[in-house]
Amino acid sequence: MKDMMRAAMVIARRDFSAVILTRTFLFFLLGPLLPILIGMAFGGLGEKISSDSLRPAVGLSMPPAEAARMLDAREAIARRIGADHISALKQAPWPADPSRLLADSEAGYVAVVSGTVDQPVLTGQPSGIARLEGDVRLIASAAKTRAILPEVHVERHPVARSASGQTQARLATGRGAQIVIFLLTMLLAGMVLSNMVEEKNNKVIEILAAAVPIDAVFLGKLMAMLSMSFIGILFWGGCAMAALTLLAGPGFAPPAPAVGWPVFLLLGVLYFAMAYCLLGSLFLGIGAQAATVREVQTLNMPVTMGQMVVFFFATYAVDHMGSAPEIAAAVFPLSSPFAMIARAAQDAAIWPHVLALAWQALWVGLIIRMGVWLFRRHVLNAGAKRPLFRRRATPPV
């Protein structure tokens, strides 16, 4: 065992140096940040465009006095509940035919309110009328009564703890941790596949197999890729913390999990490592059987789809702590890291995590052993195996 671990460390150091000491590793670190920055930029631009110029308004074709009452009522309501929660009103020509106003594409009216405050008439498409009728009725009622949501002082009584609010906050923390671990695992574990196929094609794996045990080769490659993943996570995590501090401010305090933030972060690292090793060892076995990149892609798809099903099962179990689905998700090895990190956010007990980590480590070893057995049987001993279907010899003429 000691010799195998020493050989695995040699393989891990070799693969780790081969990946880290390259220029492409810098692009690997910066790659996930570029889509996020571009998405944030275009998201803010799209929101500004939609709120400034593309947001449809309701045309107000009423006599000037009536229109002024409607506009004042709408502004008063918007100050109380927010401008985004009440339809916008825009002064329209009066007198005018509402149908012609709606036919004018440059006006940008989604509907037109005509008539008077006492008897407003809403003209538009059926879907627009159904969506806007409630807002128009509220504005007209406030304009008619002239009692536009009077100010009421609300006395504040803050409390340090709310059981329902704390439960919901911890549930959100658990779901967020599940999503982060899943995305990082799916982003990083796939690199193990291409690494194995490349060395098989270059005959390097046969040289390594002759020098060290195959178990050490598999374990060393898994350790190297996991170490490289931790470097990427440290870089991305630092960027995320800097952005969060800049956008949310130094006083931002996320809801604390049940086990506390130090233990929760430690468990998050351990469960990510286990999720990565479980999926990575599975990918190692697949990569060891595949001969080309095309075969890797073909075999990778079912595993990825299956992992997504496992993740959705684990997210469903979050809402049912202690139920049969939640226990099954915690016991099944591929979903266990996601289910247990959610449990850490909602339950303060530590001993289940010790058992879960030991259980997951056992399955990592079993999957690696299965991959090694298949590699020896179907790759290293391929020449010694008898064919499954033997061609019948042609009798001499």
Domain definitions of the chain by residue range = 56-145, 166-380
The CATH number of the domain covering residues in 56-145: 3.40.190
**C-alpha distances out from residue 186 to 39, 181, 225, 286, Å:** 20, 9, 13, 15
| Res. 390: pLDDT tops 50 | no
Helix (H, G, I), strand (E, B), or coil: what is residue 21? coil
The predicted-structure confidence for 215-272, as pLDDT tens digits, reads as follows 888 888 888 888 888 888 888 888 888 877 777 655 566 777 888 889 999 999 999 9
DSSP 8-state assignment for residue 57: E
The predicted-structure confidence for 311-321, as pLDDT tens digits, reads as follows 888 888 777 77
Helix (H, G, I), strand (E, B), or coil: what is residue 120? strand
Its pTM surpasses 0.75:
no
* Dihedral angle, C-alpha 240, 246, 247, 250, nearest 10 °: 100
Closest CA to 288 of 363, 206, 362: 206
Peptide bond preceding 352 in cis form (omega within 30 of 0): no
The predicted-structure confidence for 178-197, as pLDDT tens digits, reads as follows 998 998 888 887 777 666 66
| Res. 54: pLDDT tops 50 | no
Q: What does the pLDDT read at residue 383?
A: 47
In whole angstroms, give the CA distance from residue 265 to residue 269: 6
Tokens 């501090």, located at residue: 245
Closest CA to 376 of 209, 184, 185: 209
CB neighbours of 109 closer than 8 A, spacing ≥ 6? 56, 57, 58, 59, 90, 92, 101, 102
Residue 15: alpha-carbon gap to chain centroid: 29
In whole angstroms, give the CA distance from residue 289 to residue 69: 76
89-91 vs 57-60, strand pairing mode: parallel
